[in-house]
Amino acid sequence: MKINLNGRLVDEKRATISVFDHGLLYGDGIFEGIRAYNGRVFLLEEHIERLYDSARAIALEMPLKPADMARQVVRTCKANGVCDGYIRLVVTRGVGTLGLNPYLCKHPQYFIIAGAIRLYPKELYEKGMSVVTVGTIRNHTEAVNPRIKSLNYLNNVLAKIEAINAGVMECILLNPQGYVAEASGDNIFAVRKGRLITPPSWCGALEGITRNAVMKLAVEMGYPVEERVMTRYDMYVADEVFLTGTAAEIIAVTNVDRRRIGSGRPGPITRRLGKRFAEFVRAQGTPIE
């Protein structure tokens, strides 16, 4: 595999960064997870826009202009022969001192990995998955704002540990006020009487690229979509619940905190959205050429 390290394509064994990089020392950096389908990078412009929004939010001077960064993503996919796969684009503050001062990091670094991924087993997409609510609270929006896709993912990691210890692969995080925020790595939707609801970003949800695409597709298919505060009760009594994410795509949740959701199988709206999304991604994106 070839890794794009600051614009140089190097063998993965030679793709190294300094131990003094603030991305490693302090999680001081940002990233995007991006998918490629059918020889196209899916919604690349949207991912690049969110990346640069994250950079502005943490006062990180980007090493490239957005269009040039997008070209490096495509270049990395082409170098690795990726037509259907996953791309991880990471930007760090760069090499600095052992102190916190980010302004001593003079040269931000970036690297791009393009390869394969499968987040969940195929059977979970067919039968649905179980999740639990965990005790780890989503970061307060005025601490590390979840809208910033930062390298500081310890909040998510701690939640994932709780999920695995409970015998499931995913979990639901509540915000400091006790409202539903999101899963450890995905956004969440509940369906009630044909209407989709999902937590707004100010409740601690990342504004997911897949989330936004699914909301748009749902409206086009005639399903009302509402961003509003969600409680655990809203999940428990929903007709359907599903998660969305770049790696996860759309996956049904059929059990929340040992409460069966709907029939206990992926619901009809989730299935229709999944089918429509699969059609959508095959025709969208920036060509890899």
Task: Please count the structural domains in the chain.
Answer: 2
Q: What is the pTM of this model?
A: 0.94
Predicted local confidence at residue 118, as pLDDT: 79
Predicted local confidence at residue 285, as pLDDT: 86
Indicate whether 146 and 218 sit together in one domain.
Answer: yes
- Return phi, psi of residue 80, to 5°: -105, 5
Domain that holds residue 244: 122-283
CB burial of residue 109 (10 Å; 0-12, 13-18, 19+):
buried
Q: For helices 209-220 and 44-57, give the axis angle rounded to 10 degrees.
A: 130
- CATH number at 164 reads 3.20.10.10
pLDDT along the chain (289 residues), means of 10: 97 96 97 96 97 98 97 97 95 96 96 90 95 96 92 96 97 97 97 97 94 97 97 98 96 98 97 96 87
**Do 86 and 116 meet the contact criterion of CB atoms below 8 Å apart?**
yes
Indicate whether 126 and 96 sit together in one domain.
Answer: no
Predicted local confidence at residue 283, as pLDDT: 83
Indicate whether 72 and 6 sit together in one domain.
Answer: yes
Indicate whether 180 and 274 sit together in one domain.
Answer: yes
Q: How far is CA 56 from the centre of its chain?
A: 19
- Return phi, psi of residue 246, to 5°: -60, -45
Predicted local confidence at residue 119, as pLDDT: 77
Q: Cite the active site residues.
A: 149
Indicate whether 71 and 129 sit together in one domain.
Answer: no
Indicate whether 139 and 240 sit together in one domain.
Answer: yes
